[in-house]
Structure 1
Amino acid sequence: MSEKETVAVNILDKEYLVASPEEEKGGLEQSARYLDEKMREIRANGRVFGTERIAVMAALNITHELLQRSDMPASAEATLQEIDRRVSEALENSHKETG
């Protein structure tokens, strides 16, 4: 099992610290960039307000995209659950910092 390190990712101009195995750091950073892009698209659309609501809409859109893929590997569900856990943890930590 590899050692975890803290990775800083920026989403909608806010920094989140996420624990990640070293070999998954690049994938995590790529995922954060993709999420940031999707959230910026939703915010620019102007119909959804508030970072939390934008994040939920982005998560729904991304999940829908993934579920529409016919070539999705069987391990995708576990991967999506891990991503969901990490996003929830980061949002929870963010609320603690600003709360």
Structure 2
Amino acid sequence: MIQIDVTIMGQPYKLACKEGEEAALREAVAYLDGKMCAIRDAGKIKGNDRIAVMAALGIAAEFLSSKLPDGPLADMSLSEVRQKISSMHAVLDAALAPQENLF
């Protein structure tokens, strides 16, 4: 295992990965950083935890939409998957709203 230093939304992280997987991890970090920065810069969502959750949901939606024909959601249309994700956003917003006062 090797350790690499990366930055996500301006925060430094030290991550471990197997030798030969460094480039893939750096690519994943760059992709996540781009998604999180775009959400932050849109200004609608505050708090790094909320931004991370929204980015994760967006990435999951991208992944699932590319896997629909073979995946567990094969019987659902893309619009149904998007509706489910929108519902998850609403649930997360409601669950995380009380925590906004803590920051």
TM-score band w.r.t. shorter chain = 0.5 to 0.7
Structure 1 residue 70, shift from structure 2 partner: 3.8
Tell me the alpha carbon deviations over residues 24-53 of structure 1, each in whole angstroms, 9 at most, x when there is no partner.
Answer: 110000000000000011011111101111
**Which ranges of structure 1 fall in alignment gaps of 5 or more residues?**
75-99
CA distance in 1, matches of 2:67, 2:11: 34
2:53 counterpart of 1:63: no
The structural deviation recorded for 1:10 is 0.6
When residues 22 and 63 of structure 1 are mapped into structure 2, their CA distance, relative to the original with a 3 A threshold, is: same
For residues 44 and 13 of structure 2, what CA distance do their matches in structure 1 show? 25
Q: Tell me, yes or no, if structure 1 residue 54 matches structure 2 residue 83.
A: no
TM-score, normalised on structure 2? 0.63
1:9 Cα deviation from its structure 2 partner: 1.1
Aligned residue type for 1:17: K
User: Which structure carries more relative contact order (alpha carbon 8 Å, separation 6+)?
Assistant: 1
Runs of 5+ unmatched residues, structure 2: 72-103
Q: Distance in 1 between matches of 2:62 and 2:3?
A: 28
TM-score by length of 1: 0.66
Distance 1:44 1:26, change over 3 A: same
Q: Distance in 2 between matches of 1:13 and 1:71?
A: 34
Are 1:38 and 2:38 matched, yes or no? no
1:30-89 per-position Cα deviation (integer Å, ceiling 9, x unaligned): 000000000011011111101111011101100110110048998xxxxxxxxxxxxxxx
Aligned to 1:26: 23
Task: Tell me the C-alpha RMSD between the 2 structures.
Answer: 2.0
Aligned residues: 71
